[in-house]
Amino acid sequence: MQAPNAAKNRSVGQVAPQTAVFDAALALKSGAVLPGFTLVYETYGALNAARSNAVLVCHALSGNHHVAGFHDAARRKETLGWWDNLVGPGKPLDTRRFFVVGVNNLGGCHGSSGPMSINPETNRPYGADFPLVTVEDWVAAQARLADYLGIETWAAVIGGSLGGMQALQWTLEYPQRARHGIVIASTPRLSAQNIAFNEVARQAILSDPDFHGGHYYEYDPADRHAAVKPRNGLRLARMVGHITYLSDDQLAEKFGRRMRHGKHRFNYEVEFEIESYLRHQGDKFAEVFDANSYLLATKALDYFDPAFDYAGDLRAALARAKAGFFVASFTTDWRFTPEKSREIVYALLHNGLNVSYAEIDCDAGHDSFLLDAPHYHAALTAYLQGITL
Amino acid sequence: MSSTSTRMQGRFDFTHIARWITPGERVLDLGCGDGALLRLLAETRKIHGYGVELDPVNVTACIRNGVNVLQFDLERGLSGFPDRSFDHVIMSLSLQTVRHTVPILQEMLRVGREAVVSFPNFAYRPHREAIAVGRMPVSRHLPHQWFDSPNVRFFTIADFEILCADERIEIIESMNFAEGKLVEKDPNLNAEVALYRIRGKAR
């Protein structure tokens, strides 16, 4: 195993996003049709001659194509990829061995077609008119990217949380095109409580007076990033979401009841440190993310339910899969609990598929999947090393 | 359940277990350690196997061994596994580490067509001699001191056979060992490890 410092230096270095434009229409699960679309992606490592070493990394709710490395050497830390601790030379997803692809999903706000894109029918931003997209639609779009990159079969598709749903969906939709599915901190479907939190987030955005029915970009076409946007709604949405990503124990340890001024002030300004932290997280997120994209992604989460067409029988739903699987969950994840991952594991077992399952002891709740708890990365490294190319 | 140290020393019984497994079987190994038995069975019997192991270091070792491993807690039972979903359910040198002895045996016989169980015999002569001089036995197959032992159930070959009779568990075949060799005579006194092939009677 690498010492932490050695791992830090094993970076893929400076990277730049690329763009792929697809002219053929894409029929979405909702019945809507995208006349064509653009995907922004990044790649790390090199595709081997046999084209057998490609790994697709699927992002979660607020992620994007920028998985590893940095965009700006002068602002290395600020522009670091969201899963840089996993992807790089000598890291668990080793770019000396694998060709790794990160992609911004449809409906996103980092360059792929989404609500901020121009609707060819109106020559104005889609805004709320961008069709609702599902995990299935994302996977279908990713398959077009695979075609474009000349990748017939992924050695593995990997993702955490909503990204794990895409990894699972790949093995169902394209059983011949994903040899391994790596499903981390995920779930076969959202619970009522999960949907409830998403609904609170959506209502926060939808009820923001600056939302303007989702067409807020047009209120200042000169600067759609800075001027009119439902900033407060998006900030609130992120705050409530963020609470669900962390564990009670972790918050207690990190903030406890610590107060900014050491005493009660009897007002609504920041008093407890946790309030300050949440406001900061909300503010930061509202600067870089788009409210319409957030709405779309929460709906994609809610809709995901591969067993739905099989009368709720997950085993029947997974009968199509042929991949080998690595499933991991985290003991303190109360958003997508280990029980949900075990349900996936049992359904895979039932179908006689190869599967390994690790239940990682980590106190960081749902967001543990982004950290590098030793047993987590050790198990993942072992699994990835075992993939034949 | 953590059975690393006992498991490392128990490998001599693997070849005997392998003789009971027919090629192509579905095998579940409970407390599978580093996956060595499943790997052996995959190589020599082409089984489709899964291991259950709680210790995270062993889980990674299993993955490295190319073995399917599930990090489940056996104390929670096998309720997620359907009836008769495996040909053999194996528990090698781990039964003494499980608190719910009868439920786990029943679960093994529900999930598997047959079960294979091995355990250290507490009535092995050197163990009796230790007790006779007033000390808890420490030996190759009971390597821990009383205060740090992962074992929670201490029983003998005679005890196990009585339990099988009481619980209507049929003993199909058994073998007994001391120092890696087969023991034929008075196994409850002379064997340090017992290996059983069992199935449920009510069928």
Please say if A161 is a catalytic residue. yes
CA torsion angle for B134, B140, B146, B149 (degrees, to 10)?
-170
Residues A272-278, mean pLDDT to the nearest whole number:
96
User: Which domains does chain B show, CATH number per domain?
Assistant: 3-121+154-200 (3.40.50.150)
Residue to substitute from A1, A330, A357, A376, interface B, most B β-carbons within 10 A = A357
Q: Do A357 and B69 touch (CB under 8 A)?
A: yes
Q: Would you say A54 and A47 are in contact if contact means Cβ atoms under 8 Å apart?
A: yes
Q: Which residues of A touch B77 (CB under 8 A)?
A: none
What sign does the dihedral A90-A96-A99-A105 (CA atoms) show? positive
Q: Quote the minimal CA–CA distance from B22 to chain A in Å.
A: 18
Q: Do A379 and B56 touch (CB under 8 A)?
A: yes
Buried b / exposed e over A239-272, threshold 16 CB at 10 Å, is: bbbbbbbbbeebeeeebeeeeeeeeeeeeeebbe
Q: Which residues of A touch B50 (CB under 8 A)?
A: 349, 355
Q: What is the pLDDT of residue B180?
A: 84
Q: How confident is the model at residue A217 (pLDDT cuts 50, 70, 90)?
A: confident
Residues A324-351, mean pLDDT to the nearest whole number:
97
- The lowest-confidence range among A5-14, A66-75, A98-107 is A5-14
Q: What is the pLDDT of residue A139?
A: 98
Q: Quote the minimal CA–CA distance from A238 to chain B in Å.
A: 33
* Alpha-carbon gap, residue A62 to A163, rounded angstroms: 10
Which SS3 state, helix, strand or coil, does residue A292 take? helix
Chain mean position to CA A169: 14
ipTM of this predicted structure: 0.92
Q: Strand pairing of B112-120 and B86-92?
A: parallel
Q: Does the CB of B164 have a partner CB in chain A at under 8 Å?
A: no
Which SS3 state, helix, strand or coil, does residue A126 take? coil
Q: Do B59 and A386 touch (CB under 8 A)?
A: no
Q: How confident is the model at residue A222 (pLDDT cuts 50, 70, 90)?
A: low
Q: Do B72 and A342 touch (CB under 8 A)?
A: yes
* Alpha-carbon gap, residue A104 to A119, rounded angstroms: 19
Please say if A366 is a catalytic residue. yes
Please say if A313 is a catalytic residue. no
Per-residue tokens: A65: 């194509």
Give phi and psi for A211, each to the nearest 5.
Answer: -75, -35
Sequence-ordered list of residues with C-beta below 8 angstroms from that of A127, at least 6 positions apart, any chain: A115, A213, A214, A215, A216, A217, A218, A292
Chain mean position to CA B2: 12
Q: Do B26 and A360 touch (CB under 8 A)?
A: no
Q: Does the CB of B158 have a partner CB in chain A at under 8 Å?
A: no
Binding-site residues on chain A for chain B (CB distance < 8 A): 326, 342, 345-346, 349-350, 352, 354-361, 375, 378-379, 382-383, 385-386
Q: How confident is the model at residue B202 (pLDDT cuts 50, 70, 90)?
A: low
Q: Do A378 and B48 touch (CB under 8 A)?
A: no
Q: Do A357 and B70 touch (CB under 8 A)?
A: yes
* Alpha-carbon gap, residue A316 to A348, rounded angstroms: 10
Q: Which residues of A touch B27 (CB under 8 A)?
A: none
* Alpha-carbon gap, residue B64 to A347, rounded angstroms: 23
pLDDT in tens, A223-238: 555 568 899 999 999 9
